[in-house]
Amino acid sequence: MFYKIALDGPSGAGKSSLAKRIAKELGIVYVDTGAMYRTVGLYVTRKGVRPDEEEKVISLLPEISLSVCFRDGEQHILLGDEDVGGLIRTPEISMAASRVSAIPAVRAFLLDTQRDLAKKNSVIMDGRDIGTVIFPDANVKIFLTASPEARARRRTLELSEKGINTPYEEVLRDIITRDKNDREREIAPAIAAPDAIVLDNSELDLEGTVAAALTIIRSRVAEA
Ligand code: DC
């Protein structure tokens, strides 16, 4: 039987680093749903449409051919035939993703892609509404969080390692704005499901976070 692990939480809490490690440890597939919203953000930006121009964004959706594939356990996100993984992590596209993700039609557009991926594999899926909307029946739900300052410190470092030098203050400001957008939007707000276990890793490094998450997962999957 396949099982589903929902991993939600705000930007920069370390969901993707954690999910990659858990997927490897358990031999399951890691799905990064943020990459899908980012790809929609990239597409509309390329078309010269502002991500808050809801009607225009909606009119572009039928043109978007988005798919994911897995190579050596890594998710690749494709726009048509183009692998856009290297283009979707900039501050501009992060903000565009946050804006388009508040549009109900965009969420509906991506819903089946996300659900279908769990039909043929056990998955750990990271996002904002995986435990609340996509898989209310997930076997394990973890809400990973950390203080905005801890998240901004990590994100600044991560960006600079990719050669993108953005001042800490700007990253922190972006994180606070995106948190607010993501948490307060009417549709699928980024909040913990009532049955999620909240894991705050402000004081934990990656190893500590992996160990804590594995303990939660093993106890829940064993119960199931
Ligand atoms: O996880 P991320 O930072 O790559 O996500 C990019 C944006 O997409 C983020 O602002 C919130 C949004 N998002 C969402 O609304 N629902 C998801 N399941 C995943 C991401």
Q: How many Å lie between the centroid of ligand 1 and the Cα of residue 33? A: 7
- Residue bearing the CA closest to ligand 1, atom 12: 98
Beta-carbon contacts of 217 under 8 Å, excluding residues fewer than 6 positions away, are 5, 22, 26, 140, 142
Among left, alpha and beta (phi > 0; psi -120 to 50; other), residue 143 is beta
pLDDT, mean of each 10-residue run, the chain (224 residues): 93 92 94 96 98 97 94 89 95 92 95 92 94 96 96 91 92 91 84 95 96 94 70
> Does the predicted model carry a pTM greater than 0.85?
yes
pLDDT of res. 51: 97
**Atom in ligand 1 nearest the alpha carbon of residue 89:** 4
Q: How far is CA 70 from CA 39, 75, 93, 196, in A?
A: 16, 5, 23, 27
Over the Cα atoms of the chain, what is R_g? Answer: 17
Q: Please, is 57 exposed, middle or buried when counting C-beta atoms within 10 Å of its C-beta (0-12, 13-18, 19+)?
A: buried
The rounded distance, in Å, linking the Cα atoms of 5 and 28 is 10
Q: Which of 7, 29, 21 is nearest to 205 (CA)?
A: 21
- Residue bearing the CA closest to ligand 1, atom 3: 11
pLDDT of res. 224: 63
First to last CA, the chain: 11
Q: Please, is 33 exposed, middle or buried when counting C-beta atoms within 10 Å of its C-beta (0-12, 13-18, 19+)?
A: buried
Q: Which residue has the tokens 């948490």?
A: 183
Q: How many Å lie between the centroid of ligand 1 and the Cα of residue 101? A: 7
